[in-house]
Amino acid sequence: MKLSPLQMARYQYNPKLPGMLRNGISEICVENGNATESVADQAKIQALFPNTYGKNEITFKKGQNTSEAKKQIVGVILSGGQAPGGHNVICGLYDALKATNPENVLYGFKGGPSGLINDDYLIFDDEYINQYRNTGGFDIIGSGRTKLESEEQFAIVADVCKKHGITAIVIIGGDDSNTNAAVLAEYFAAHNTGVQVIGCPKTIDGDLKNEDIECSFGFDTATKTYSEMIGNIERDANSAKKYWHFIKVMGRSASHVALECALETQPNICLIGEEVAAKKMSLAQIADYIADSVAGRAAKGWNFGVAIIPEGIVEFVPEFSVLIAEINELLAGEKTEKFNALPSWKEKYAFIENGLTKESMAVFAILPENIQQQLFLERDPHGNVQVSLIESEKLFSALVKDNLAARKAAGTYKGKFAPQHHFLGYEGRCAFPSNFDADYCYSLGYNAFMLIQYGYNGYLSKVSNLSKPAEEWVAGGMPITKMMNIERRNGEDKPVIRKALVELDGKPFTFFAANREQWAIETCYTYPGAIQYFGPAEVCDLTTRTLALEKA
């Protein structure tokens, strides 16, 4: 396989560890913190996790290692969507494991949780692992979205671990994956299997964070990748001066990616779903807000601009959420087959009109026909609308176009409006990790093994103080149950890790809100450029604007 010069150079990069972890395995001890409780629903979570609830947070310090010396056979899986840096978590885990005892073994289970269930694995060695250091993607063992939820699955996993003598499993994933890690850890503890479970926080969406987990890995690289492209589009817009670019970015359940990209590039418009929900904004109000910027810039002779749209924005619009709920009900069960059997859109439209309330039909009617049809594309496994398939960037440009047409008819707008559409998604998930993510992920993996070595179960690998140089990072662990609450899922109460949404009183949003009126009318674009891997630390080791503002 021919390697690119960058790939060869990245193989040689030595990720930076927190200062304490650089002391050597024999000089790392544990400092116990406070006992923990879940973020909400404490009694219910404790009842569900009697063996792993309420444990102490811990921090690793320099000192005599007092852990039990024994051979460790560890399994690792990648779960869910890709995020830059996943390979380095495994590399850090492998290096710590081998540094402790060369006889230790690391199993990589292929294709995510299903690899554990199907006993599909490889055993890592130096030659194999060295091919993936500091690279993007999850191709080292692949990933998957199988959920570990049932007693039957847990029993199979326990048997697989017993077969190979596995002492611990590391699950690298997002909020759902780490929820599964917590449940599996509880099962192992309740059945005295002797197998530990450690989680690592991954998601480019940025919604796996709290007072302890400052940042999920992959967010830094993905947002830098998107921001480079948005900056390029801004420069093109400012050069051609004739297009309005509507750019949808990943982030269904939270708008962290959109906000970070806006802080990096200063576009004319950036919608924040959490604000839309808080203000109960309608589609018409959002269209009017964007159209104000278009008209204001046109009055200055600038018929161009850039708008960032979060992937899941429509779910935050109250009237649209009601519409989606009614459509889900309209097509429940066998009704989907009846609807699909109708031969024309005209007949399907009549079916819809007859099934929706008057209020939801009014919302449905203002949507462009292509968006209306997208609401009736293939359903998800639960029979619901797949919101990610809705081209919200085209939806809002169409609504803005209609709004501007009405203004033109009223004589209040005389500009030109020519929209262009973009969706930045997969482009950011497997990029070469930034130095920050390369360092952070390697530290998470190295730290995960230290949690294993000291016997912890149901813990999340935690590295904090991330806005500082890596030397000052703090490594430790926290019980996964601390992040959990009860939510209603598919008609049942389920313990889940609470998603972190954009905080409207937080420093990143308030900084954005203080500047967006100027950005909406003036041309204040900034151009981040490509991720830099070589050069001065102030250029190459920059963290996100979000984290910098939060920790300022």
Active centre residues (catalytic): 205
Nearest of 30, 176, 6, 40 to residue 483 by alpha carbon: 40
Torsion angle defined by CA atoms of residues 408, 269, 238 and 549, in that order, rounded to the nearest 10 degrees: 160
Please report, for the chain, how many H helices and E strands are present, in that order. 22, 16
For residue 123, what are the β-bridge partners?
107
**Is there a contact between 452 and 168 (Cβ–Cβ < 8 Å)?**
yes
- Residue-by-residue DSSP string for 89-157: HHHHHHHHHHHH-TT-EEEEETTTHHHHHHT-EEE--HHHHTTSTT--SSTTT-EE-----SHHHHHHH
Specify the 3-state DSSP secondary structure of 59: strand
Under DSSP, the state recorded for 362 is H
Burial class (CB in 10 A: 0-12, 13-18, 19+), 508: buried
Task: State the residue for tokens 């199993």.
Answer: 107
Ordered alpha helix ranges (H), 344-472 = 345-355, 358-366, 369-374, 392-409, 435-453
Which stretch of DSSP H or E encloses residue 30?
strand 28-35
> Cα–Cα distance between 185 and 171 in angstroms, integer?
11
> Cα–Cα distance between 232 and 81 in angstroms, integer?
26
Specify the 3-state DSSP secondary structure of 515: helix
> Cα–Cα distance between 455 and 69 in angstroms, integer?
11
**Is there a contact between 472 and 226 (Cβ–Cβ < 8 Å)?**
no
Backbone angles phi, psi at 320, to 5 degrees: -75, -35
- End-to-end Cα spacing for the chain: 45
